[in-house]
Amino acid sequence: MRSKLFSHLCLAGTVLLVSQPGFPSDSQLSREARARRMAYLERASEGVTLLFNRSHHDLNEYVPDKNFYYLTGCDEPGAVLLLTPGSDAPRETLFLAKRDPRQERWTGPRMAPGRETARRLGMQQVLSLDELPAALGQRAPPKGKVYANLPPGPHRKAGDECCLEPWVRLRQWLPEARILDAGPELAFLRMKKSEWEIEKIRRAVEITMAGHRHALPAIGPGRFEYEVEAAIEYQFRSRGATRPAFPSIVGSGPNAVILHYAGNNRRMSSGDLVVIDVGAEFEGYSADLTRTYPVSGRFTRRQKEIYNIVLSAQEAALKQVRPGVTFEPIHRAALQTIDSRGRDRQGRSLGRYFIHGTGHHLGLEVHDPVSDRGRPLEPGMVITIEPGIYIPEENLGIRIEDDVLVTRDGYRILSRGLPRKAKEIERMMGENR
Ligand SMILES: [Mn+2]
């Protein structure tokens, strides 16, 4: 029941429950979603599109399908969007479950099929889910292309034909259709953010920076990693974030070298570093910010040496960020910096300890999907720049991650308000204990 409750709470205030008087609707979100549907229909004009709001769960909470949400601004579980370009019938129809007053006593009011919901979502038509098979029969050519949001699979490539659970129903409705993945076309659109989206990400970043600042009093010898996690997530929720965009990483000492450590239960000691990689989700949009702090408040000489190499690598990577550039030269700049400075205990260069990519796109998902890995950056894209060095035999892990907006002439660091230099980090920690 908890998860069902969350389905109505998780985006409350932005999109929800618009059929209920008293619940605010977000007409700007509706307008955004409408513009996205128009842009999408221009790209996917050769078939019908069917997007399911598959109810998947993350961190035990209901999370709407982000592609569905992107095109509808609606997060009703089980809802389905049908887009039919070029037909005489309405080009866009949302299908919702009929309301069930008895169920609503338990899980709260839901959006209802009908004109009122259509008006408030800016959708041509909102019908009941039972009407979906008939509408498909009328509007989808039996042997035509159907773009759907297919479940993620390890061997699925763009354009692959596929029919996996729970898309079996779709196969039953349209046994001869060519079912294709709508993901790449949607990712293409999602990669470039509107002003409205950039503002949401900026808010997520702001909340995440506050989380980092409020983490500092909880960092110290004898304190537990989870105290830091709690201090951060308290800030997230009390500043209006829906939830952490991903499991918060607070990794100290030996845990600092584990990239996706999420246990957060070790007691920190003097001399440790602690890597804090966290992000708030605000109105659907994610931030992703990493800083590395010395538990005692001061870096050792060795820690500072490596810290400064990571910082230089980040600066070198940032210098590459501008429209027209791919991640390849950005990563190369970071890797070359790391590999050309400093040594491990065996006297070897440090490139071998930089074991992940330098960045990814950021948006409705913390690792936002891309239509094509080689697509050059454009103004309005938001990416992370996050080099790191992880030397297990020294219990030395350092990552610095910022969120960066690509602009017409370069970039703007959305998280520039959070100090990055070793000296600033030490000063900030001194002020907060
Ligand atoms: Mn990241």
- Tell whether 17 and 58 lie within a shared domain: yes
- Tell whether 156 and 15 lie within a shared domain: yes
Is pLDDT above 70 for 375? yes
Ligand 1 centroid to Cα of residue 393, in Å, is 24
- Tell whether 172 and 247 lie within a shared domain: no
Ligand 1 centroid to Cα of residue 384, in Å, is 6
Ligand 1 centroid to Cα of residue 327, in Å, is 14
How much is the pTM? Answer: 0.89
Ligand 1 centroid to Cα of residue 262, in Å, is 14
Residue that terminates a domain, selected from 140, 155, 190: 190
**4 vs 271 pLDDT, higher one:** 271
Supply the pLDDT for residue 3: 36
Percentage of residues in the chain with pLDDT exceeding 70?
88
Ligand 1 centroid to Cα of residue 400, in Å, is 10
Least confident of 6-15, 211-220, 241-250, 296-305: 6-15
Supply the pLDDT for residue 59: 52
Supply the pLDDT for residue 9: 34
Is pLDDT above 70 for 325? yes
Q: How many domains does the chain have?
A: 2
What's the domain range around 158? 2-190
Ligand 1 centroid to Cα of residue 199, in Å, is 19
Ligand 1 centroid to Cα of residue 246, in Å, is 10
Supply the pLDDT for residue 57: 56
- Tell whether 196 and 186 lie within a shared domain: no
SS (H, E, C) the chain: CHHHHHHHHCCCCCCCCCCCCCCCCCHHHHHHHHHHHHHHHHHCCCEEEEEECCCEEECCEEECCHHHHHHHCCCCCCCEEEECCCCCCCCEEEEECCCCHHHHHHHCCCCCCCHHHHHHHCCCEEEEHHHHHHHHHHHCCCCCEEEECCCCCCCCCCCCCCCCCCCHHHHHHCCCCEEEECHHHHHHHHHCCCHHHHHHHHHHHHHHHHHHHHHHHHCCCCCEHHHHHHHHHHHHHHCCCCEECCCCEEEEHHHHHCCCCCCCCCECCCCCEEEEEECEEECCEECCEEEEEECCCCCCHHHHHHHHHHHHHHHHHHHHCCCCCCHHHHHHHHHHHHHCCCCCCCCCCCHHHCCCCCCCECCCCCCCCCCCCCCCCCCCCEEEECCEEEEHHHCEEEECEEEEEEECCEEEECCCCCCCCHHHHHHHHHHCC
Ligand 1 centroid to Cα of residue 370, in Å, is 15
- Tell whether 74 and 177 lie within a shared domain: yes
Ligand 1 centroid to Cα of residue 223, in Å, is 26
- The region, left, alpha or beta by phi > 0 then psi within -120 to 50, assigned to residue 100 is beta
Ligand 1 centroid to Cα of residue 22, in Å, is 38
Supply the pLDDT for residue 164: 47
Q: Per residue in 128-171, pLDDT tens?
A: 999 999 999 899 888 999 999 876 554 444 444 444 455 677 88
Mean pLDDT across the chain, nearest whole number?
A: 89
Ligand 1 centroid to Cα of residue 288, in Å, is 5
Supply the pLDDT for residue 56: 59
Ligand 1 centroid to Cα of residue 286, in Å, is 10
Ligand 1 centroid to Cα of residue 401, in Å, is 7
Ligand 1 centroid to Cα of residue 122, in Å, is 34
Ligand 1 centroid to Cα of residue 290, in Å, is 8
Residue that terminates a domain, selected from 190, 219, 244: 190
Ligand 1 centroid to Cα of residue 369, in Å, is 13
Q: Per residue in 171-225, pLDDT tens?
A: 888 889 998 999 999 999 999 999 999 999 999 999 999 999 999 999 999 999 9
Residue that terminates a domain, selected from 135, 155, 190: 190
Least confident of 160-174, 337-351, 357-371: 160-174
In this structure, what are the phi and psi dihedrals at residue 165, rounded to the nearest 5 degrees?
A: -50, 145
Ligand 1 centroid to Cα of residue 149, in Å, is 24
Percentage of residues in the chain with pLDDT exceeding 90?
75
- Tell whether 355 and 405 lie within a shared domain: yes
Ligand 1 centroid to Cα of residue 250, in Å, is 14
pLDDT (mean) for 340-349: 97
**Six token digits for residue 374:** 């080689």
Supply the pLDDT for residue 433: 73
Q: How confident is the model at residue 102 (pLDDT cuts 50, 70, 90)?
A: very high
Ligand 1 centroid to Cα of residue 260, in Å, is 10
Q: How confident is the model at residue 392 (pLDDT cuts 50, 70, 90)?
A: very high
Ligand 1 centroid to Cα of residue 402, in Å, is 8
406: CATH: 3.90.230.10
Residues whose CB is under 5 A from ligand 1 (ion)? Answer: 288, 384
Is pLDDT above 60 for 1? no
**20 vs 395 pLDDT, higher one:** 395
